[in-house]
Amino acid sequence: MADRFLAERAVSVVADRVREERRWSTPELLAVEQRLVTAATGRTGEQAARVSHQAVRDALAAHPTAGQDQQAMVRDLCQGGQGVAVVVGRAGTGKTFALGIARHAWQLDGYRLLAAAPTGIATISLQGEGFEEVATCDRLLGDLDRGREQLDARTVVVVDEAGMVGSRKLTRLLEHAEQAQTKLVLVGDDRQLARSTPAADSAPCGSASAPQN
Amino acid sequence: MDPDNLVREVTGRTPNRYQDWTVSAETAGRLFDRLAGRDGLTATASTFARPDVLVALGAGLAGTGRR
């Protein structure tokens, strides 16, 4: 019966070479992830949330310890213009610190910053980098769905630890951002994948639970 | 000792040794639909392995009518 299910309802996607185990997914989730990729790549030609050279210079000057990589990341995020920007890097490489500098540059040019992360603990790191409006992804999505939160072209949404956010939630967030022409910045470690425990549907609270896919 | 009598005395039930354990196409279809849906095997992970399917099928069939 398991083999029948795999043959009729699943799609073989990858083989785990270490465990010598084939992995499968479902057409439903693959369609969601295709929409996610299409929504992200479809916004590459925008001029979303572009910051002046002066604002970037001022923000970098206020953070003299930023390394070359971090400065390049700030320039790319703030002046690249992509509707959806993706930053990938290992844990501990200073992504969140550089995000804080980018936050500074955007704010110098009058943009509103909304930051989110999949867990309460991750939102605390964002608060430490000067983000004032911070929420868990569940909370932000809930507020957007209910109309309690409004996005626009002068807002930048930053999602830290985005690799821990499930595909379905990320797709919903992308759809909200696309409708409002809001720049969305996804930051994460591609070796860190979404875990399997349900998320706390709450504001930052120090919870370490991870979201549903 | 007759094992069936023993089971009947202890549990009050009569074991049915000829029960048909075949899962009907309708039951299997409903279960497959659920497992392939957003609340199924990909509710909390993007991928799954064959053992995950076995566990989910077992959990899905436990206590359900087989016909």
Q: Are residues A95 and A147 in the same domain?
A: yes
For A148-169, write each residue's pLDDT tens digit: 999 999 999 999 988 888 889 9
Considering only CB atoms, which chain B residues are within 8 Å of A16?
49
* B6 band by pLDDT with thresholds 50, 70 and 90: confident
Residue A8 located in a structural domain:
yes
Q: Do A29 and A50 belong together in one domain?
A: no
Q: Nearest CA to CA, how far is B4 from chain A (Å)?
A: 30
- Radius of gyration over every alpha carbon of chain B, rounded to an integer in angstroms: 17
Same domain as A106, residue A29 = no
Q: Which residue has the higher pLDDT, B11 or A48?
A: A48
* Mean pLDDT along residues A2-18: 86
Q: How far is A146 from chain B (nearest CA, A)?
A: 21
> pLDDT tier at B63 (50, 70, 90 boundaries)?
low
**Per the domain annotation, does A179 fall within a domain?**
yes
Co-location of A59 and A25 in the same domain = no
Question: Which pLDDT band holds residue A210 (cuts at 50, 70, 90)?
Answer: very low
| Domain contains A67 | yes
DSSP category for residue A165? S
Instruction: Give B17's pLDDT tier (boundaries 50, 70, 90).
Output: low
Strand partners, A187: A87
A27 plus A114 within the same structural domain: no
The ipTM estimated for the assembled molecules is: 0.70
Whether A65 is in a domain gets the answer yes
Pairwise CA distance, residues A113 & A193, whole Å: 25
Residue of A nearest to B25 (CA): A1
Indicate whether A115 pLDDT > 90. Answer: yes
Same domain for A25 and A108? no
Q: Are the beta carbons of A195 and B48 separated by less than 8 Å?
A: no
Asked if the structure places residue A212 within a domain, the reply is no
Query: Measuring CA to CA, which residue among A157, A164, A166, A149 is closest to residue A83?
Result: A157
> Mean pLDDT over residues B42-55, rounded?
91
How many helices (H) and strands (E) are present in chain A, helices listed first?
8, 7
Same domain membership, residue A34 and residue A73: no
Put simply, the answer to whether A14 touches B47 (Cβ < 8 Å) is: yes
Q: pLDDT per residue over A50-89, tens digit each?
A: 999 999 999 999 999 988 989 999 999 999 989 999 988 7
Q: Per the domain annotation, does A119 fall within a domain?
A: yes
Contacts of B37 in chain A (CB under 8 A): 26, 28
Same domain, A25 and A60: no
- Counting the structural domains of chain A, the total is 2
Inside any domain, residue A110: yes
Average the pLDDT over each of A27-36, A129-138, B11-20 and give the range with the smallest value.
Answer: B11-20
Is the CB of A28 less than 8 angstroms away from the CB of B36? yes
Contact flag B42-A198 (C-beta cutoff 8 Å): no
Same domain for A35 and A58, yes or no, is: no
Q: Looking at the domain assignment, is residue A54 inside a domain?
A: yes
Verify whether the Cβ–Cβ distance B42 to A6 is below 8 Å: no
Both A36 and A67 in one domain: the answer is no
The torsion angles phi and psi of B58, rounded to 5 degrees, stand at -60, -45
Q: Is residue A12 domain-shared with residue A84, that is, in the same domain? A: no
Name chain A contacts of B48, Cβ cutoff 8 Å. Answer: 10, 23-25
Which of B23, B26, B33, B47 should we substitute to test contact with A (largest number of A Cβ atoms within 10 Å)? B47
- The CATH number assigned to the domain holding A68 equals 3.40.50.300
Bridge partners (DSSP) listed for residue A8: none
Identity of the residue in B38, B44, B47 whose CB atom sits nearest the CB atom of A23 = B47
Range of the domain at A28: 2-40
DSSP B38-59: TTTTTSS-S-B-HHHHHHHHHH
Shared domain check, A24 and A87: no
